[in-house]
Amino acid sequence: MVMSTPAEHPGTLAFDMGGDPLANADPRMRFTFDFVREISRQTDAQRLLHLFRDRFGQFTPRDRTVSLSRRELSSPWYRITRCTDWKEDINPWTQKDRLPLLSSGLLGELLYAGVPVVNDDWRPDPADPAYEYLEGMRSIVAIPLFDGGESINMVVMMARSPGRFDVSRLPDLMMTSNLVGRATQTLILAAEVRKAHEALDAEVRRIGELQRALLPATLPAIPGVGVATYYAAAARAGGDYFDFFDLGGDRWGLLIGDVSGHGPSAAVVMAITRTLLHAFCRDEHHPSAILGYLNERLLEQADRYPNTFVTLFYGEFDARARTIRYASAGHNPPILMRGGRSLIELNAAQSLPLGLFPDAKYADAADRLDPGDNLLLYTDGITEAMNPQGEMYGRERLLECLRQPEFSAQAVIDCITMRLEGFTEGRPPSDDRTMVALRIRE
């Protein structure tokens, strides 16, 4: 790397970037540049230490290196975690049971002293417990490695001839060895976090599979009505819910709900809500009574799931009379499009979400459904979906698909999902998205 100070710009440096910019650099600068760049590429702690051992030997000649650790041990016990004379590469994190466990002796004294040491004219004691690691060596340098402010590990470099180690380089050795040690610990922690995340993700995935199994497996065969649904969770598990109940006599319960938040906790509350509904909806109850019952039961769970609530719309559709009686607990009003011409929102029975207020009251309302009408139930993950510019999809875009008088229930769903995908440019949903569409046929 050639650097110069241009006369017209004193105090600035000009770099000759042609070819190798470090071709003329000091060897130590070149070594440091290459070394730190290689460190940044490492994702495995064992490979990082191999890199350190191989590269560092270029500037710190030695005949043997031994690594020690007293982690989870008490004086005078310690483990040999690495030795350059070993024929087999033992991973100290995954194969700790294979590491030699020793007591006392020179290496133990150095490790528990926890200070840097250089001895350039030394002979090992044949009675030392670690003599096989010391035999034939005459120079030694010990570098403590700190973790949490304590000297837990140590690198011991040795040479066969006296005076091989430069005492003036000890501060650099201390700094470099400890920085590499910290980088190693970071990689180990990253691997542990990654492993824990994978296990958690697998568990959440299983929760999501169980949750989806609670949703209707088939669409109901309602006389004179076409039915279509759409469901997409923002996470592995979600809090949106839809369902159908055969009440007999061509009467059907229609439900859509949204648990606050998403993920495992929302999925659990959704499962609780479903269980309560399936136990209560089979009997003769008005929609308002069903919501009141759900509110009471969910309030009983409030301590276990704080700050969690459910918005829910429940309607009872009579296929013979073509009427729907409904009640809503803070949910988006379903949209009824009459023949693609006039718009009606089923908002005459709006009340508070479930699981928040003990004194919440719920009422019923009713409307008719005529041939050619399209009814859409949806969660706010549809209308609140955003494009990359931060603009919401909104209700008006939703209505464009409902205004097509010839559209079947499935065509309405397909139209919305296709336009939503284009609007969001394929970005994954930040909230669960659910729709239930009904088309009243002639």
Q: Does residue 216 have a cis peptide bond before it, meaning omega lies within 30 degrees of 0?
A: no
| pLDDT of amino acid 204 | 76
- The per-residue b/e assignment along 117-137, b for 16 or more CB within 10 angstroms, e otherwise, is bbbbeeebeeebbbeebbeeb
CB 409 within 8 A of CB 353: no
Does any domain span residue 172?
yes
Residue 262: both structure tokens together: 């998403």
Q: Which letter does DSSP use for residue 122 in this model?
A: -
Does any domain span residue 97?
yes
Q: Give yes or no: residues 49 and 33 share one domain.
A: no
Domain of residue 378 covers: 210-440
Q: Give yes or no: residues 321 and 421 share one domain.
A: yes
Helix spans in 57-169 (H): 105-113, 131-134
Sign of CA dihedral 423, 413, 371, 319: negative
Q: Give yes or no: residues 248 and 349 share one domain.
A: yes
Q: Give yes or no: residues 218 and 321 share one domain.
A: yes
Q: List the one residue out of 427, 382, 392, 395 whose CA is nearest residue 229.
A: 382
Does any domain span residue 105?
yes
Q: Give yes or no: residues 121 and 220 share one domain.
A: no
CATH number (domain holding residue 327) = 3.60.40.10
Q: Give yes or no: residues 4 and 89 share one domain.
A: no
Cα 131 from chain centroid (whole Å): 49
Helix spans in 114-169 (H): 131-134
| pLDDT of amino acid 22 | 67
- Block mean pLDDT (10 aa), the chain, length 442: 48 54 71 76 75 68 90 95 90 89 95 93 94 95 91 93 86 81 80 85 78 86 95 79 93 94 80 89 85 94 86 96 96 91 92 95 96 95 93 92 90 95 89 94 80
**Last-in-domain residue among 189, 223, 243:** 189
Cα 204 from chain centroid (whole Å): 10
**Last-in-domain residue among 135, 158, 189:** 189
Does any domain span residue 129?
yes
Q: Give yes or no: residues 19 and 90 share one domain.
A: no
Does any domain span residue 199?
no
Q: For the chain, what is the domain count?
A: 3
| pTM for the full predicted model | 0.66
Does any domain span residue 329?
yes
DSSP code string of 276-334: HHHHHTTSS--HHHHHHHHHHHHHHTTTTSTT--EEEEEEEEETTTTEEEEEEESPPPP
Does any domain span residue 204?
no
| pLDDT of amino acid 21 | 65
Q: Give yes or no: residues 270 and 144 share one domain.
A: no
Q: Give yes or no: residues 2 and 151 share one domain.
A: no
Q: Give yes or no: residues 3 and 96 share one domain.
A: no
**Last-in-domain residue among 189, 222, 247:** 189
Beta bridge partners, 260, equal none
Q: List the one residue out of 351, 349, 340, 350 whose CA is nearest residue 375.
A: 340
Residue 244, H or E segment: strand 240-248
Q: Give yes or no: residues 184 and 285 share one domain.
A: no
Q: Give yes or no: residues 215 and 356 share one domain.
A: yes
CATH number (domain holding residue 175) = 3.30.450.40
Does any domain span residue 202?
no
